[in-house]
């Protein structure tokens, strides 16, 4: 379904955040017979509708939301509205078309788009692809879940998009180059289970992309896509890292350490990015020197293994976007070989922390749990030789404790393995509290 297909139809946009505003404004330009916006849970993500670009579209709140949605022929849901919401289930049962702004946009722009998704690494990989493309003479626009809603993107010849599972689930058109960086259980409450999450995430591959690029070293991803034709970055016949050198098959390109991001997972992100460039017609061998120089200027994205200077000699690391045990496992691996204290805990979504326990077998480190899920994570690690566990009352107390238990040449890693909501407004707020706690405890 395209935006033009909404002409003369009754449409309800669900959500009044930036995605809802973008959708309502875009749809209004295509002459629907009826258009309303609906927000049944006005919160900090909601914008001041009266001051927004969509202010001329009526906004329904409160008790009338359900009826307004069910009166529509098409519901355009914001990504924050889960596919498992009872009203979405009811709407589909009534044969109301449910789609999203990302799907409407992709229907018109798929041929010009690289779409990147994954349970880990999608933001970094999308940003790195955009960065490398620009250096090779390919201007592009970066957007999607990483910042600008798709329906707000300017016209251009090339798009690089980070797409969440919520955005991917609505797609009926795959981007020209469809990319998946990693796959592990995440957001299960919003998708209905692991199988449903994988299905929604991998829907990006389901609608005839020209090229599929995946992280070939991710065993779970490999199992899910089976024999699907794909470029499998990380394997010896594709882009891979061997002996700290980046290769295209057997051709040496440049040293791995030109990319100033720690961790094996970021090596894999680089290999995926290079495979995407080749899919877009760039001769990576001829451009190797340019690509190396450009990779050297790439900066870590905020809140992803971001190192914070401290006069004590400790390295504090903000990885607050690690909201699952698998993401935290990648972060812990990035600091292998150094004395390490990891701060974990946040909103308790009932995640299974046994994979984290298995991953930490044979390691020596300290784990500090903070509310709400910190105690449960610590309990899951009980009895592991070499793993010291502590519980703190809050993040500030955890930073103070970390200073006392971490050797001066060590690292203190905030990699929560849980979302931020509840104790914090969002992940940015959690990061702010962490940084302030580092400053305050340094003075103590």
Reported as a single tens digit per residue, the pLDDT across 384-404 is 999 999 999 999 999 999 999
H/E stretch holding 103: helix 101-109
Residue 119 is labelled as binding a ligand: yes
Give the pLDDT confidence of 16-45 residue by residue, as tens digits. 999 999 999 999 999 999 999 999 886 655
Mean pLDDT of the 75-86 span:
92
Instruction: Tell me the backbone φ, ψ of residue 177, rounded to 5 degrees.
Output: -115, 115
Q: Are 100 and 37 in contact (CB under 8 A)?
A: no
Residue 201 is labelled as binding a ligand: no
**362: its two tokens:** 């044979």
CA distance 13 to 258: 45
Residue 169 is labelled as binding a ligand: no
Smallest CA-to-CA distance from 438 within 413, 407, 409 is with 413
Give the pLDDT confidence of 172-187 residue by residue, as tens digits. 999 999 999 999 877 6
CA distance 165 to 167: 5
CA distance 84 to 427: 24
Counting beta carbons within 10 angstroms of the beta carbon of residue 33, is it exposed (0 to 12), middle (13 to 18) or buried (19 or more)?
exposed
Smallest CA-to-CA distance from 402 within 314, 336, 322 is with 314
Homologous superfamily of the 3-95 domain (CATH) = NAD(P)-binding Rossmann-like Domain (3.40.50.720)
> What pTM was estimated for this model as a whole?
0.84
Residue 290 is labelled as binding a ligand: no
- How far CA 277 is from CA of 14, 67, 198, 233, in Å, comes to 36, 48, 26, 12
Higher pLDDT, residue 195 or 157: 157
Smallest CA-to-CA distance from 103 within 180, 174, 43, 34 is with 174
For residue 37, the model assigns a pLDDT of: 97
For residue 44, the model assigns a pLDDT of: 53
Domain range list for the chain: 3-95, 104-297, 306-441
Domain 306-441 has CATH 3.40.50.300: no
Strand order in the sheet with 34-39: 59-61, 34-39, 10-14, 74-77, 97-100
To the nearest 10°, the Cα dihedral for 118, 334, 398, 146? -30
Q: Are 57 and 32 in contact (CB under 8 A)?
A: no
Chosen CATH of 104-297 out of 3.40.1190.10, 3.40.50.300, 2.130.10.30, 3.90.230.10:
3.40.1190.10
Residue 124 is labelled as binding a ligand: yes
**Does the pLDDT at position 229 exceed 90?**
yes
Q: Are 415 and 319 in contact (CB under 8 A)?
A: yes
């Amino acid at each position: 379904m395209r935006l033009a297909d909404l002409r003369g139809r009754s449409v309800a946009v669900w959500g009044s955040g930036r995605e809802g505003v973008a959708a309502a404004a875009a749809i209004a330009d295509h002459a629907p017979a009826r258009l309303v916006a609906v927000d049944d849970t006005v919160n900090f993500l909601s914008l001041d509708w009266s001051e927004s670009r969509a202010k001329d579209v009526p906004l329904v709140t409160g008790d009338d939301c359900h009826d307004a949605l069910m009166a529509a022929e098409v519901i355009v849901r914001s990504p924050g509205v889960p596919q498992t919401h009872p009203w979405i289930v009811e709407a589909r049962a009534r044969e109301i078309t449910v789609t999203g702004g990302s799907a409407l946009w992709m229907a018109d722009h798929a041929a010009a788009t690289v779409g990147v998704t994954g349970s880990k690494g999608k933001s970094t990989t999308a940003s790195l692809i955009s960065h490398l493309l620009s250096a090779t003479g390919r201007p592009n626009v970066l957007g999607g879940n990483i910042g600008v809603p798709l329906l707000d993107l300017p016209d251009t010849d090339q798009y690089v998009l980070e797409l969440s599972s919520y955005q991917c689930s609505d797609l009926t058109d795959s981007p020209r180059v469809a990319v998946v960086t990693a796959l592990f259980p995440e957001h299960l409450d919003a998708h209905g289970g692991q199988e449903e999450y994988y299905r929604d995430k991998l829907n990006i591959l389901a609608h005839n992309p020209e090229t599929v690029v995946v992280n070939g070293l991710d065993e779970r991803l490999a199992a899910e896509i089976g024999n699907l034709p794909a470029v499998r970055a990380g394997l010896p016949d594709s882009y891979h890292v061997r002996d700290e050198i980046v290769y295209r098959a057997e051709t040496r390109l440049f040293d791995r350490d030109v990319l100033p991001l720690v961790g094996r997972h970021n090596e894999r992100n680089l290999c995926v990015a290079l495979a995407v460039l080749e899919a877009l017609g760039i001769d990576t061998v001829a451009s190797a020197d340019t690509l190396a120089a450009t990779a050297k200027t790439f900066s870590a994205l905020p809140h992803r293994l971001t190192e914070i200077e401290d006069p004590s000699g400790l390295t504090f690391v903000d990885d607050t976007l690690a909201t699952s045990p698998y993401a935290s496992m990648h972060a812990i691996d990035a600091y292998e070989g150094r004395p390490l204290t990891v701060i974990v805990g946040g909103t308790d979504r009932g995640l299974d922390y046994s994979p984290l326990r298995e991953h930490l077998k044979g390691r020596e480190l300290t784990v500090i749990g903070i509310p709400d899920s910190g105690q449960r994570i610590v309990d899951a690690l009980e009895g592991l030789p070499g793993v010291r566990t502590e519980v703190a009352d809050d993040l500030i107390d955890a930073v103070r404790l970390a200073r006392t238990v971490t050797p001066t040449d060590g690292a203190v890693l905030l990699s929560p393995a849980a979302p931020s909501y509840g104790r914090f407004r969002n992940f940015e707020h959690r990061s702010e509290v962490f940084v302030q706690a580092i400053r305050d405890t340094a003075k103590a």
